Amino acid sequence: MISVSDARRLVNENCLAGRKVLLPLIKACGSVLAETLHSPIDTPPFDQSSMDGYAFFIENWNGHDALTIAGEIQAGSSTDKTLKSAEAFRIYTGAPVPAGADTVVMQEKVIIENNSITITDKSICKGANVRPKGSQTRKGDVALESNQLLTPAALSFLSGLGIREVTVFAKPVVSLIITGKELVSDNNYLEEGKVFESNSMGLTASLNQLNIIADAVVFTDDNEAEIIDAVNAVCDSDIIILSGGVSVGDYDLVPSALEKCGVRKIFHHVKQKPGKPLYFGKINDTFVFALPGNPASALTCFYEYVVPSIAIFTQADYMRHVQLPLLNDVSKKPGLTHFLKGKTKSNGVMILGNQESYKLNSFSVADCLVELEEERDEYLTGEIVKVRMII
């Protein structure tokens, strides 16, 4: 059995960044750029009015003279006329400032009489209300660096530069194999001895939060041949996640099935609670995680090990760790790292009740996992602990 820190190290060492793929922007939200992007154009592409008002040339306006309204420029149109001295152009937000003008006065700061304007803002400065060409990006400038997470704002920015597709790190193809003879997943009736299957829901929903749709969800009995067939059927996935059957009982057949499929075991059993039976292996470039079936163990192992492996694949940073003071005392036996369901408040983190691995009621209202160290026993209120946010 290995420590949590060794298990983490082995996951880090054995997982690789994924493929690079070209995606249309609309499909790229939440992905990480795999290329540095340069702006193909100046933005704004022309000197642009930032107000509804009047464009004029400040040096030809002595601070008092009325200016004749010599034309109008709407957003989306342009003019080839050049402003003459003592002239102004009616102009609207987003419209190009015409040749011969360098300043825009807001329409609220003029008096209009007989097709001319008198500017009431006598202190207006050269360049006021004009967004200069290239003041956001210059053609050829770095727009976004490689490894940038593509947020809605980043995608909107790239759209504004006329960029339509981007090369990003692919999302992994993830398959789930849910094992267990006792599990009922396809009807509402429980025969004696059966339980409703729930791990496929928690795991697919967690994947969805990372913008990953499980490629396959396969259910098997506690039967080695069935598990082998299921693994072989999804072996071209990037990540295979199995649930259940990974402990030491006679019907825990996942480790032997994986061995027979040719999966190379990297570790099995971690000094942690919940999730001690966790298994991690590799077949070719495919990562294989076999999670214990108890629902809280499965989800905890998913957050603590599978999410970091997906983060390496996609190069995204999903892991928000914070250090917070405990709001209640907590004790544990030394020997295992504990991951406890917690709820953060403005002044710290509260450890919730119902921590047993078969229960999900406290997990359902938790927003974090609190990590308590292997060798420690007592933690007192106020002590700073390591917290992984999960929502």
The reply to whether 292 sits near Mg ion by the rule CB under 5 A is no
- The rounded distance, in Å, linking the Cα atoms of 211 and 230 is 24
Which position among 96, 180, 342, 348 is part of the footprint of Mg ion (CB under 5 A)?
180
CB of 155 to Mg ion, least distance (A): 43
- Closer of 56 and 289 to Mg ion (Cβ): 289
Q: Give me 111's structure tokens.
A: 């008096």
Binds 183: which of ligand AMP, Mg ion, none (CB < 5-8 Å by kind): ligand AMP
**By Cβ distance, which residue is nearest to Mg ion?**
244
Q: Where are the strands (E) in 45-173, listed by range? A: 48-49, 53-56, 67-73, 87-91, 103-106, 110-113, 116-119, 130-131, 142-144, 165-169
φ and ψ at residue 274, rounded to 5 degrees: -80, 175
Number of residues that bind Mg ion (CB under 5 A): 4
Stretch that binds ligand AMP, among 51-59, 60-68, 192-200, 378-386 (CB under 6 A): 192-200
Q: Does an H or E element contain 272, and which?
A: strand 272-273
List the alpha helices (DSSP H) in the chain.
4-14, 152-160, 199-209, 224-233, 254-261, 295-301, 307-314, 361-365
Q: Burial level of 123, CB count in 10 A (0-12/13-18/19+)?
A: exposed
Judged by beta carbon distances under 5 to 8 A according to partner kind, the member of Mg ion, ligand AMP, none in contact with residue 198 is: ligand AMP
The three-state secondary structure class of 97 is coil
Helix locations, 63-220, DSSP H: 152-160, 199-209
Q: Which is nearer to ligand AMP, 67 or 176 (CB)?
A: 176
Q: Is 244 in the site for Mg ion (CB under 5 A)?
A: yes
- Token pair 């027979």 is at which residue? 260
Q: Give the count of beta carbons closer than 10 Å to the beta carbon of residue 69.
A: 17
Stretch that binds Mg ion, among 158-166, 260-268, 287-295, 378-386 (CB under 5 A): 287-295
CB of 158 to Mg ion, least distance (A): 48
The interface with ligand AMP within residues 264-323 (CB under 6 A) comprises 292-295
Q: Does 175 bind ligand AMP (CB under 6 A)?
A: no
The interface mask with ligand AMP, positions 211-250, x = CB under 6 A, is --------------------------------xxx-x---
CB of 289 to Mg ion, least distance (A): 16
Q: Are strands 239-243 and 286-291 parallel, antiparallel or unpaired?
A: parallel
Size of residue set near ligand AMP by CB under 6 A: 17
Span of 142-150, 178-186, 304-312, 335-343 interacting with ligand AMP by CB under 6 A: 178-186
DSSP 8-state symbol, 98: P
What residues line the site for ligand AMP (CB under 6 A)? 178, 180, 182-183, 195, 197-199, 243-245, 247, 292-295, 358
What residues line the site for Mg ion (CB under 5 A)? 180, 244-245, 293
